[in-house]
Structures are given as C-alpha cells and as structure tokens.
Amino acid sequence: MTAVLGGCGLTGDSDEVTLRLVAADYGDSKANSSQNYWNELVKSYEAQHPDVHVEVDVYSWNDVDRKVREMVEAGDAPDMAQIGAYSDYADRNLLYRADDVLSIPVQADFVSQLAGAGQVNGVQYGLPFAASTRVLFYNKTLFSEAGVTPPKTWEELAEAAEALDAKGVKYPYALPLGAEEAQAETMQWMLSGGGGYTDDVGTYSVDSPQNVTTFTWLRDELVAKGLTGPVAPGKLNRADAFAAFAKGDVGMLNGHPSLMKMASDKGVKYGMVTTPGAEGESQNTLGVSDWMTAFRENGHQEEIGDFLDFVYSDDNVLDFSREYDLLPVTTSASQVMSTAAEDRNLKTFLDELLLSELYPVGKASWASVSADVKKEIGQAVTPGGSPREVLGRIQATAMRAGSAE
C-alpha cells in the first residue's frame, strides 16, 4: 500500500491534472487486493487521457473511513473517496452532487434502490459503488446428518438449530452481533420481524414493538438455549462467523455473496434460501451499498466526472463485481449478470436486491447510530438482558443525533 500523497492539482505541464482517489480494499490477500483492480483501470484510463493522472491509495475497511476523515479534517481531502458512508460530508456541503459530475446516462443507470439511498433531502450525493444482499446460508452436509430441511420460519429455524445442536454442531446458528458488522445482522433480523431502524416515514423506530419482539425471541429461543455457539453473540464478528462456516463448524447463518467462494474453497457444500421470517419467508431483506464520493475542495469537477463515467462503464462495473462476488450497482450491468452463465450463483442475490431495504444512510446521524448499535446490541440477547432497555437506549441516541439534522 502506498502512502497518501500530500497536495494535489496540477503536475508537470500546466494542462495536466492529477486526481487522487482513496478506496477500500475488497480483497483478502495481496494477490487479490483492490489495488490491483484500480491499477489496471487507471492504466487503461490514462492511456486514453494523457493529460489526466489518477493516484489511487487503497486501505483496509478497518482504516479507510478514518483515513478519509483525517484527510478532510486536515484540509487535504482527496478528489474522490470510495468508502462506507457519505451523508455527513454531504451535510457539510463538501461533496459534488451526482449531477455535477456524472453524465445523465450514467446517473440514470444506477439501480433505483441504490440511487435513492444515495440521496440527502432528495439530492443524490452518494454514488453506489458495490452492493450486496443477505440470504440464509446453510451447510447441506450438517443439515442432512441432522435430518432437517432449510427453514422458512423462525420456529423452523429454532427446530433446525436444536437438531444441529443435538448432533454436536459447534454453531447451530451463528449470530454475529460483534462490533465489526452488528448493524447488518441486527437489521436483517429486524426486517424478518416486520420492523427496521426506521418507520414508513423515515423516523427512527429502533425500539418499536416489532423489534423488541424480535430480539426477545432471539434471546429466549436461540441464545438462552445454547444454539448460537460457544462465543457470545456480542463478541462474535461477522468475519469470524464466515470463517467458521467455511470450516464446517456452522449450521446456518445470514451471509452475502463473498461467502460462496469462501465456502467452496474449503469444500463446504452449502445451500441458500430466503431469510426466514416470523410467520414465513421474510418479505424484506437487507441490501448494503458502499459509496463513491466526489469532494469539492480541489475543484477538478470536469476531470472527476469524466473519470467516474469511465469507472461506471459496464465492463468495469462487471469486472469489479465478478472479482469480488458483489452485485453491480447499475441496471445495465445487472441485466448482463442476470443472464450470464458465469454469474448464475449470484442470481439469488440479484433478485433479492430489487426487494431489499438499505440502512438509512441518507441521514447524517446514521454513522453515530450505527456505532451505537455495534456497541450495544449484543447486550439485548444476553441471558437476563432486556431487549426493550437496550433498544430504548439506542433509540434515544438516534433521536438525539437526528434532532440536529
């Protein structure tokens, strides 16, 4: 990884421009680091645009949001940043609008759910870059040995977990509510119980009756009965749960597309079904998008726009999505992927994307609410814990943060 270079703007001849992009790493090794993807893309772009140079610095997801925040606070914002959230920068008027930098065809091509999630007060600032949805993964071998079939309801999920537990499965159901990505597992369960982080008009409703019922059920029917494995859900991170599934130690868990390759590489035979709900298959699933942002600080509006139009061409969107088992964020690339034989394993997730709900990322308060969920939610399912009190505390944080918007 190269260090972020200070300064920006003109370089060499006065007509030349250097753009700086900070991006997140989707790879799990040096061999498939996202730096390799960006190096090839930039090489191709610069060959066609000799007066524009693009420097890309890639950081792990553990560091990239912090790195960009530090750069912005130091008055040294990059021209573009591909990160996990955008609304706090938009709220401070630091970003170009999507229609400031993208051509009309490119902006119009974003998947509608993702384009909507990129808006603040009806104006799009967040450009979706990579997307995924969640389905229930299950270990076919363990299910066969336990004599159970994939569940469609919570009750069936609990019964399957009990049967898996009786067979000595280490994690009958892996419930990762640890600090890494608790907000995802939390929302997936909220949706399956008819709730969510917000109500129909976008007001925070973390402690709604539906959400309290959902986490009470998790506490009593899974955690208290020892069906979630040897690590307390509040201490179990998503990456560790995925790794345990790939080792054959997990009966079932909510997962996104990258788990397919992890499991296949380890020889785990898996299946995927719609997330079970309280009374039947969940009508809503979690959709997640990461975001490209364009900062105003250095100018370069025209050059940024031209480069981003290139980034969002079908070939480049498909190359990235296929390299990292993610979903395309454009309608045209999604249509290609939905019919291509090489992408048949992703079709389940593509279908889910059209019905998915995303985090309330358009709220500037979401970053602090998400952080609070990561810190608190595991306590809701501990034996003797109070879902009502824990969700109530998170709701109070959400309302305080939201009142400033």
Q: Which domains does the chain have, with CATH numbers?
A: 9-132+288-351 (3.40.190.10), 135-274+365-402 (3.40.190.10)
pLDDT for position 2: 36
How many Å apart are CA 311 and CA 301, to the nearest integer? 15
Please give the order of strands across the beta sheet that includes 171-173.
171-173, 250-255, 135-139, 270-273
Q: CB neighbours of 109 closer than 8 A, spacing ≥ 6?
A: 312, 330, 331, 332
pTM: 0.83
CB atoms within 10 A of CB 108: 12
Query: How far apart are the C-alpha atoms of 6 and 205, rounded to whole Å?
Result: 43
Do residues 284 and 356 lie in contact, with contact meaning Cβ atoms separated by under 8 Å? yes
Cβ burial of 178 (10 Å; 0-12, 13-18, 19+) is: buried
- pLDDT, one tens digit for every residue, the chain (405 residues): 333 333 344 444 457 899 999 999 988 778 888 999 999 999 999 999 999 999 999 998 878 888 999 999 999 999 999 998 888 899 899 999 999 999 999 999 999 889 988 998 889 999 999 999 999 999 999 999 999 999 999 999 999 999 999 999 999 999 999 988 899 999 999 999 999 999 988 899 999 999 999 999 999 999 999 999 999 999 999 889 999 999 999 999 999 888 998 899 999 999 999 999 998 888 888 988 999 999 999 999 999 999 999 999 999 999 999 998 899 999 999 999 988 888 888 888 888 887 788 899 888 888 889 889 999 999 999 988 999 999 999 999 899 876 655
